[in-house]
Amino acid sequence: MPKWYEKGSVEDKVEWAEEWSPDNNSVNINWLAEDGEPDVREALARNKNIPLQILKKLAKDEHYSVRSNVAGHPNASKEILHKLAKDGDKSVSGAAKNNPNFKTLEFADKKSKGDKKFILAAVKQDARALQDTDDKLKGDKEVVLAAVKKSGSALQHADKKLRADKEFVLAAVKQNGDALQYADKKLMGDKKIVLAAVKKEGSALQHADKKLKGDKEIVLEAVKQDGRALQDADKKLKRDKEVVLAAVKQKGWALKYVDKKLKADKKIVLAAIKQDVSNLQYADKKLKANKEVVLAAAKQDGRVLEFADKKMQANKEVVLVAIKQDVYYLPYADKKLKANKEVMLAAVKQSGRALEFADKKLKRDKKIVLIAVKQDVSALEYVDDTLKNNPDILAIVNKDK
C-alpha cells in the first residue's frame, strides 16, 4: 500500500470504502478489503458496487460485523449465502437466510415446481424462482408476465416463444432495460422495445441491433440515462456534439469514448471535468495544457494536477489553487514549485506533513518548518537536521506531548 493511503485517517478510509465504484476507483479496492481497521472493511461490505470476488474475500473476514454485511448484501451469491447461513454467529447466519437471494426454489420438491398457484406466488415474491420451475410453466403467459414485471431479468428463464413475444419483452425491459439481452434477436431491432429499454437503463444499448446503435433518438435517450452508453453508439454519433454533450454531462467518464476532434472541444471537456476532474486524462493534449480548463478543475479538486500537462504542473497559480483544495496532490507539482516558498507555505498550512515534498532548502527554512510542526508535530521527521534541535521547534513539539 502507498504511503498516502496508510497516512489516511480511519474516517477517510471509511468514506473511500463507502464511495468506491468502478467509476470512482482512485483508491484500490484491495487496499480497502485488506485494511487493518474492521470499520473500513465493514463499510466496504455495505457498498452495493463492490465486485463478487471482493464479497467472497470479505465473507471470510474474522470480524462478524463484516461477514454480517456481506450476508445482507444484495449482490451476494447463493454460494456465499449458503456458507454464511452456517456461520457460528447468529447475526451472520440470520442475515444470510433473510437475504432475498437465498430464497429460491432450489430445494422445493418436483410437485411444487409444477404447481402453477405455488409458482405464481413464488415469482411474485422473487422472480428468480422462475429458473427452478417446471419447463411447462416457463411457457405459461401468466406466470412469466408476473415474473418479468417483478424483475425483467427473469426473461432469461422464459420459454423461447415468450422471449420472442413483443408484449412480454416490453414488460421486461420496462422493468429492467438490460433484460433486452435475453430477448429474441428480431426484437433487439425493434425501435419501440429498444427505446423503452434504454430509457430504463442506458447500458441496454449494447444489446440493441447495430442499425439502432446509429439511431440518434435512441442513442440520445441512452446517454441521457447513462453517459457510458456512448461507448456502444455508432461512430458517427460519437462525433455528434449534442449526443456527446448529453453523455459527458450525465457521466463525465464518457469522454473516453468521444471522437478525437470533440476531445479538443473546450465546452465538452469542461462539462466532463465538472463531473470528475480525473476525466481530464481523456481530453486532447492541448486542453490538458489550457490554463482556463485546468484552473477550473483545480478550483473543484486538487487531484487535477495528476492529469494536467507538465506546463500546468509548473504553473504557480494553478498549483496554489489545487493544493488549497487538496494538499495531498502536491507531489504532482513541478520540482521548482516545491522549492517555492509561497507554494510550500500554503501547503504546510494545510498539512504539516507536506514538508516531506519540499525542496531541501525549504526543509531548513525556520518559518516554514515552524508552521509545519505547529500544524502537525509529526512533520518533525522531515525537518532538516540543522533545525531538529532548534529551541523554538522543540518547544512546539514538547508542548504537544
Out of 10-14, 157-161, 332-336, least confident range: 10-14
Task: Measure CA 207 to chain center.
Answer: 22
What distance in Å separates the CA atoms of residue 163 and residue 31, rounded to the nearest whole number?
Answer: 43
Question: What three-state secondary structure class fits 35?
Answer: coil
What distance in Å separates the CA atoms of residue 35 and residue 57, rounded to the nearest whole number?
Answer: 12
pTM of the model: 0.69
Average pLDDT over residues 358-380: 96
pLDDT in tens, 220-230: 999 999 999 99
What distance in Å separates the CA atoms of residue 296 and residue 175, rounded to the nearest whole number?
Answer: 40
Residue 391: Cβ within 10 Å count: 6
Q: Which three cell numbers stand for residue 285?
A: 493534449
Which of 314, 323, 313 has its CA nearest to residue 344? 323
Q: What is the DSSP string of 59-114?
A: TT-SSHHHHHHHHT-TT--HHHHHHHTT-SSHHHHHHHHHSGGG--STT--HHHHT
Q: Which three cell numbers stand for residue 177?
A: 432495460
Question: Among the ranges 22-31, 83-92, 207-216, which has the highest mean pLDDT value?
Answer: 207-216
The mean of the pLDDT values for the chain is 93
Spell out the alpha helix ranges (H) of 126-190: 141-150, 160-163, 166-175
The pLDDT value given to residue 401 = 65
What distance in Å separates the CA atoms of residue 360 and residue 199, rounded to the nearest whole number?
Answer: 57
The pLDDT value given to residue 67 = 96
pLDDT in tens, 191-202: 999 999 999 999
Question: What three-state secondary structure class fits 149?
Answer: helix
The pLDDT value given to residue 107 = 52
Give the start-to-end residue ranges of the domains of the chain. Answer: 3-102, 339-401
Please identify which residue in the block is written with the cell numbers 465473507.
59
Using alpha carbons, list the distances in angstroms from residue 44 to 20, 26, 39, 133, 250: 8, 15, 9, 35, 25
Q: State what percent of residues in the chain have pLDDT above 90.
A: 78
